[in-house]
Amino acid sequence: MSIDILVQVLLSGLLLGGIYALVAFGLSLVYGVANILNIAHGTLLAISGVVASLIFAATGWNPILIIPLLVLPVFLFGYLFHAALLRPLASRGKHDETIGTVLITVGALIMMSDITGVVAGTNQQNIPVRSEILEFGDVIVPLTQVWILAGIIGLTVILHLYLKYAWFGRAVRAVTQDPLGATICGINGPRAKALTFAGGSGLVAVAGVLYAMIYPVDPYMGFSLTVRAFTIIIIGGIGNLAGAMIAGIMLGVAESLTAFFWAPKWAPAISVVLLLVILVLFPRGLALWKRA
Amino acid sequence: MEKSVSSSRPVALAGIAAFAVVLGALPLVAGPYPISFVFLLLITFIIAQSWDWVNGQMGYLNLGHYAFYGIGAYAFCLLLIRGVPLAPSFAAAIFVAALAASILSFPLFRLKGDYFAFGTLTIVPLCELLASNLTEITKGTEGVTLPPHYVLIPAYYMAAVLVLLTLATTWWLMRSRFGYAMRAIRNDEQVAEVSGIRLFPVKVLTLCLSAMFAGLAGAIQAWQFSFIDPYTMFNLSVALIPIAAALLGGSGLLLGPLIGVILLSSLQQVLLVKLHMLQGAVYGLVIVLIGRFLPGGLLRWKVIANNPHLAWLARESHFEVGASPAADDHAALPLRAPDLDKSKIDKNKIVLRCEAATMAFGGNVAVREVSIDVRQGEIVGLVGPNGSGKTTLFNLISGIYQPKGGRILVDGQDISGLRADEIARLGIGRTYQIPRPFNELTVRECIAIGRSYGRGAAPLREAMQSAEAFARFVGLGAQIEMRADRLSLQQKKALELARALAGEPKLLLVDEVASGLSTNEIRTFVQHIREIRDRYGITVIWVEHIFSALAQVVDRLVVLDSGSVIADAPLQEAVKDERVLATYLGHSNKDITHEEKRA
């Protein structure tokens, strides 16, 4: 077996991991800021991917144009979803709040999958972009994948800078660390939470389009992505973007290697086993990359 | 309230009897379609109710419970097709599910709160992967088909019997000592432990119990359906439906899961018949609405909880105390331990010895080589500025923390390495600075838990009856049936004392009770502390900032500053000690002579 194939496998793992990280960012912020266990998070990616595929099939537009078309409605949907359903739960006790969140997000998962399944069909879809191919020796890389990777990196950098320097980004970080303290300092906590939820949902829509450009999507595939995203944020530290990026890429590469060297059917087991093992070793999550 | 208490038992028994008759008679009068509908409902109920033992009683949100159902089904089918007879196959389903639960207990119960939910979220996908991929054992994605047979009626009766058993188990849990341990864990795990409850066995047994019922339900369902595959047995969107049903009815209530399952299954049936598409969407919507609008479930809805005929449906527990002897507020406490007697105080006996006890959090040394002796029958005041390590020292003595250095001896026995519940049973009782009662339980129940699991180790019935004497002693006689979270701050502090006393400690650690209380309330409290020692010979260490309260009762003062003992002397000497005055008590007039002395 040649080194070229290994590089190829590593590259596809890198790409997959980048998309996982994008999914995890949203969940990480939502859990870190609003303390919401959003079980429907991955399903939102699946739905966005299916809708993007349909738009592409109907219009043939460049997927880059489809992204903003999708992000805005999903952002709004996230905001309303939080305001109408999740925000009122905050007045309950901790255990009741968790249970309410689980019920609402599970109900939303079932609804979204079913409605999309009825409207768009349950078949697998994707965005079949024709792409030029870059060749480095025997390693073949479609140009699309390079663009996607660049996009993910760009988005991560922007998000990181935004959280670090922008007023709202600082507010979000403050709420993550101490909601009450942040409120006392004049941050509108509920609004920050709602906007974070909406922003996290918008990010997932971006990830959905990118995902559909590489892998097939269907309305029912979302939950396994949610589990992956949870694994990533537990490894990378809740609310920690750099940690999520590293953990996401590690997971993507590990899955690609497993699929290649062992069997594709065992690849999904990586995240599940990893999550269990890490939780066992580090019951409060693994904050390898502590927030500064 | 009293009426519903006395009438609930016959009502519940009559209801269950009627339910059993209806279940038994149904196959005689109905066709296969209604029978199979009710059969599915019964299976769903068993899953929902067994899940709720872990959630509603013990407070752990297990999102992976459905996996035990699938595991039971797989164990049963795989043995049956290999020629094992029916009965052992069913037994194996129960056994394998319990085995899986006990293995999973070790990693899962290291987790708390949301992290437990995260962890359990992985179980169902993990099982699906294993069932799909271990093709040699499980036949993979093509699934397992049983030889053709028609067993709806026997499967139905089996499920019906299991349902009655499930209800009986719930009934037992709601009125047993074990059930109270589960509810104590749900309300406050640390307080449950310092009350003498050994946590891990309770958690493992509860998870195993719930897995056994779900596993058998899976086996019965698989037997009836005669086909299983990984997708249907470990389908996550189906997995959370019994949970939704239990929450719809009212998690933690006797009939909550049953009523929730009946409603939700009926709804699903109606949707299947009426709608040709989007059943899932409507179903999901219902689940969303339950989550949004019914925090405690339907049975806790105030229309039901306030209705005199229905209120017993909303009862949190079904223990009946029965007639207890009328006690007066000054009767002696019913203590059982032989050493709790004023006449047996040996003033030279050392009850507690700390030898250079040290505790650090990272680089922050909270308790630094503290060495103190406390003799039997003493009341020791423990004072010091905020952050000087008083509560940390209490946490070391009661086993919440393990010392990083030094030793702590109780009656000469080294307690390092002992769990908090073992230390509680050795006779160390404690209260919390910010009261931590079991909020959802009544005053009587809170005290009875301390009594039943502490050194007194009274049977639950006796503990419930004698709880009243402790409540009266601290002035909560009138609030005995009130939920602990409805009490005022002072009453909660009194409850802390009563719960700790009920465990019959020989050494009582009292953490800041006077702050926030009025002068009169402080006086009452001081009297209680004095009486505890004078009448029952219980040794007391009292942490307090209100010095005037302490000064009325303590024999000796130990002063901490930055984790170290700076004074340990009889009260009269300690208040004159220069370092104590400088760091803690302060001077009435800081004069030059004082500055000179220090120099």
Q: Is the pLDDT of residue B599 over 50?
A: no
- A81 to chain B: closest CA residue: B288
B5-53 residue pLDDT tens: 445 667 777 888 888 999 999 988 988 889 999 999 999 999 999 999 9
Residues of B in contact with A229 (CB under 8 A): none
Q: Is the pLDDT of residue B381 over 70?
A: yes
Label residue B111 by pLDDT band (50, 70, 90). Answer: confident
pLDDT at position A74, please? 94
Contact B245, B260 (CB under 8 A): yes
- Return the pLDDT at A291: 40
Q: How far apart are CA B389 and CA B404, in angstroms?
A: 14
pLDDT of residue B5: 45
pLDDT reported for residue B78:
93
Rounded CA-CA distance A259/A267 in Å is 5
Average pLDDT estimate for B249-263: 91
Give the C-alpha separation, B189 to B112, whole Å: 10
Residue in this structure with the two tokens 């502090």, named with its chain if needed? B493
CA nearest to B529, candidates B473, B578, B457, B580: B473
- Quick check: is A184 in a domain? yes
- B593 pLDDT exceeds 80? no
Contacts of B284 in chain A (CB under 8 A): 106-112, 114
The encoded tokens of residue B415 equal 């307690």
In this structure, the number of other CB atoms found within 10 A of the CB of residue A3 comes to: 10
Nearest to A104 among B122, B237, B288 (CB): B288
| Residue among B55, B109, B114 with most chain A CBs within 10 A, to mutate | B114
- Nearest CB among B55, B122, B291 relative to A100 is that of B291
- Where residue A90 sits, what CATH number does that domain have? 1.10.3470
**Mean pLDDT across the stretch B174-179?**
92
Query: B250 to chain A: nearest residue by CA?
Result: A96
Residue among A241, A233, A243, A250 at smallest CA distance from A285: A233
pLDDT of the residue at B7: 53
Chain A residues inside the 8 Å CB shell of B278: 114-115, 118
Q: List per-block mean pLDDT (blocks of 10 residues) for chain A, which spans 292 residues.
A: 79 88 87 83 92 90 88 93 88 81 88 90 82 77 83 86 82 78 80 87 90 88 86 80 86 89 83 79 58 36
Q: Does residue B598 surpass a pLDDT of 50?
A: no
For B554-591, write each residue's pLDDT tens digit.
889 898 888 888 888 888 888 888 888 877 777 655 54
Residue B257 has pLDDT above 80, yes or no: yes
Distance CA A48, CA A22 (A): 14
Domain membership of residue A152 (yes or no) is yes
Token readout for A192 is 């920050």
Q: What do you get for the CA distance between the two ends of chain A, in Å?
A: 43
Q: What is the ipTM of this complex?
A: 0.85
Beta bridge partners of B84: none
B231: contact with A, CB 8 A cutoff: no
* Distance from the B283 Cα atom to the nearest Cα atom in chain A, whole angstroms: 8
Cβ within 8 Å of A, B 138-197: 186
Task: Say yes or no for a CB contact (<8 Å) between B251 and A99.
Answer: yes
**Which CATH code of 3.50.50.60, 3.40.50.300, 3.40.50.10470, 3.90.105.20 fits the domain covering B347-427+505-598?**
3.40.50.300
Is residue A291 a part of any domain in this protein? no
pLDDT of B323 above 90: no
Identify whether the C-beta of residue A291 lies closer than 8 Å to the C-beta of residue A240: yes
B66 pLDDT above the threshold of 50: yes
Q: pLDDT at position A275, please?
A: 78
Cβ A127 vs Cβ A210: under 8 Å = no
A106 touching B (Cβ < 8 Å): yes
Q: How many domains does chain A have?
A: 1
Contact criterion met (CB < 8 Å) for B133 and A280: no
Q: B589: distance to nearest CA of chain A, Å?
A: 38
The model's pLDDT over B144-166, given as tens digits with 9 standing for 90+, comes to 888 888 889 999 999 999 999 99
Pairwise CB contact (< 8 Å): A113 & B247: no
What is the per-residue pLDDT for A244? 86
Query: Average of pLDDT values for B104-122?
Result: 84
Chain A interface includes B247 (CB < 8 A) = yes
Looking at residue B295, what is its pLDDT? 76
Among chain B residues, CA nearest to A272 = B122
Q: Is position A92 within any domain?
A: yes
CA distance B591 to chain A (A): 41
Q: Which residues of B touch A110 (CB under 8 A)?
A: 237, 280-281, 283-284, 287
Q: B405 with B465: CB under 8 angstroms?
A: no
> Which pLDDT does position B594 carry in this prediction?
47
Torsions phi, psi for B505 (to 5 deg): -75, 150
What does the pLDDT read at residue B213? 97
Q: How far apart (Å, rounded) are the C-alpha atoms in residues A47 and A122? A: 11
**Residue-wise pLDDT tens digits, B398-411:** 999 988 888 999 98
User: Which residues are registered as beta bridge partners of B510?
Assistant: B542
Query: What range defines the domain where residue A177 resides?
Result: 3-281
Q: Where are the beta strands (DSSP E) in chain A?
A: 133-136, 139-142
Among B236, B241, B251, pick the best mutation site for testing chain A contact (most A Cβ within 10 A): B236
What are the pLDDT digits (tens) for B511-561? 888 777 888 888 888 888 888 888 888 999 999 888 888 888 888 989 888
User: For residue A91, how many other CB atoms are within 10 A of its CB?
Assistant: 9
